[in-house]
Amino acid sequence: MTSITTGLTEGDFHRLGVLSNGSMTDILTLIGAGGGGAGVTDVTSQSSELTVATSGTTRQLSLTLNAYATTTSVSTLLANCVLASAYNAAMATKIDSVTITAPLAISGTGSSRALATLWKPSTLAVSTGLFALANDALGTVSLSLTGAESRTALKLADTNAVVRDLTSTITGGLVWNTSQLVDLNYLVAQMALKNDVISGLTYGSNAIYHLQSNEGGTPPLYIAWTPSGGSYTNQTGYQELAVPMVYMSLGPAATSGNYTYTFDAKAGTVSSLVMDAMDTVTWATMFEIEFNLTSSWVTHTGTFPAFANGALDLHLGFSTSLVGGLYTQPSGTVHIRNFSLTSPGNPSVRIASDLAVSGNISCVNLTQTSDRRIKTEVTDIDEQARVSLIRGVTPKNYRRTDGVEGVRIGFISQEIRDEMPEDWANLVQWQAGEQSLLVLQYSRLVVPLWASVRNLLARVEALEGKNLKASVSAGKKKTDSNTNDATKATA
């Protein structure tokens, strides 16, 4: 049995084998062989670790192994070591040196270094109108306005990143983008000059109802559609609809007649748009239409009947096929602009006082009340006054000085007034409003002209009557002469 022991400093062995020539050999055999076969005469040590003790012919060897490490101790020491290749790979990722610039500072010695900043939030200085709340530990500072700031202009940016200035005048007024803004005092003063109520003005019960947009106006006017699965986006000059769908509920609305719609549309990501109208109760009586769209703006105009219950839901981008209709709306975007919806009805405005208009009035028909039941003391106009007016006033060519362009024909109110009787006051009157100008009712000039035509007609008829009588008398005399001649011939 072979027993291998390491790490011993001394011991007693029955047999001590050592490695010799590749095999374990008893040390005494080796020693004996070293003596040339004559036996060991003496043993000496060639190393300080091996000592030889002599007792007569006996030699005792002692081996001191204190200078050598055990396998366990070597393993323990090597556990904290790494291979050179691993060490080099790890060191390659490390920073050889750290260089800083202001406002950073480095402190410490040896293997301990600390980085710090020279700037602290608490060192931030703010001017009048600002308040700073600093926290050096967190490295934060919060700024807020105190209301004490002073600046020449307040710059505001809109959603298109266009910056405009709001400034103050020396009198305390506000100027927005070079336009003077009015203040409350000015508004109060101006409102004090206006009428609180316009008396004598009433509207008919069937007033026109408008749904109208003007995306290209200043400012632009957009319709606030109600999204229902879709959406709308206000763009410059138009609206982009994401369908399906958006809608608008209108009511109370008309119960008879036809609505009129008009709008411009062009394709976005889809090339068709379905529009329908219904009475909010049933789809059975709905109006539906599909518009084919292109990449260019096209105006669409049409009508549809009002509903008996006076309600109206107008849908854009709804698939009417879902409720028994004809059309299916593809999903996507379309562009619309200048949308208007006009309700049916006969609007009327009643004004119980004077109305002054500085511009033109255009209408289909203009009537005036002339019922016998509201008139008394009815007589024929004075013939002499009528003749005097027509003879005394000459029609004129002229140019106006109140902004009306071009040469015009007409009369001079003062000339008419000078020639007419005083009781013809409704022919020439003073203008309603602030200016003291005479106005002439041209339509009433028909009255003296009518009387003149009647007079001329009577005179023509009288002349024609005389000629007729003369013609009849001459014919009768000729007939009598012919009769006498015939009688004589017969005789």
Q: What is the pLDDT of residue 489?
A: 34
Whether 243 and 311 have beta carbons less than 8 Å apart is answered as: no
β-pairing, 50-55 with 58-63? antiparallel
Co-location of 318 and 395 in the same domain: no
Task: Determine the structural domain holding residue 19 and report its residue range.
Answer: 1-68
Please indicate, yes or no, if residue 314 is contained in any of the structural domains: yes
Read off the pLDDT of residues 210-258 as tens digits, 9 standing for 90 and up: 678 888 888 888 999 999 999 999 999 999 999 999 998 887 777 888 8
Residue burial 254-276, b: 16+ Cβ < 10 Å; e: rest: beeeebebebbbbbbeeebbbbb
Co-location of 333 and 388 in the same domain: no
Co-location of 225 and 322 in the same domain: yes
Q: What is the pLDDT of residue 194?
A: 72
Query: What CATH number has the domain bearing residue 392?
Result: 1.10.10
Read off the pLDDT of residues 150-199 as tens digits, 9 standing for 90 and up: 778 888 888 898 999 988 888 878 888 888 888 778 788 888 777 665 55
Please indicate, yes or no, if residue 457 is contained in any of the structural domains: yes
Of 68, 84, 99, the last residue of a domain is 68
Of 25, 51, 68, the last residue of a domain is 68
Please indicate, yes or no, if residue 191 is contained in any of the structural domains: no
Burial class (CB in 10 A: 0-12, 13-18, 19+), 349: exposed
Please indicate, yes or no, if residue 176 is contained in any of the structural domains: no
Co-location of 415 and 319 in the same domain: no
Going along 309-452, which residue ranges are E strands?
Answer: 312-316, 332-342, 349-351, 396-399, 407-410, 428-430, 438-440
Of 294, 317, 342, the last residue of a domain is 342
Co-location of 415 and 321 in the same domain: no
pLDDT lower than 50: segments of the chain = 35-38, 202-207, 483-491
Co-location of 319 and 387 in the same domain: no
Co-location of 324 and 389 in the same domain: no
Contacts by residues 157-162 (CB-CB < 8 Å, ≥ 24 positions apart)? none
Co-location of 405 and 335 in the same domain: no
**Domain count of the chain?**
3
Burial class (CB in 10 A: 0-12, 13-18, 19+), 429: middle
Neighbour tally for 445: CB within 10 Å: 16
Please indicate, yes or no, if residue 355 is contained in any of the structural domains: no
Co-location of 397 and 473 in the same domain: yes
Nearest-angstrom CA–CA distance, 339 and 217:
13
Nearest-angstrom CA–CA distance, 337 and 266:
9
Nearest-angstrom CA–CA distance, 341 and 403:
35
Please indicate, yes or no, if residue 277 is contained in any of the structural domains: yes
Q: What is the pLDDT of residue 487?
A: 38
Co-location of 258 and 321 in the same domain: yes
Please indicate, yes or no, if residue 447 is contained in any of the structural domains: yes
Query: What CATH number has the domain bearing residue 288?
Result: 2.60.120.260
My answer on whether omega of the bond before 395 falls inside 30° of 0, hence cis, is no
**pTM (global) more than 0.75:** no
Q: Cα dist. 439→249, 388, 412 in Å? A: 48, 20, 9
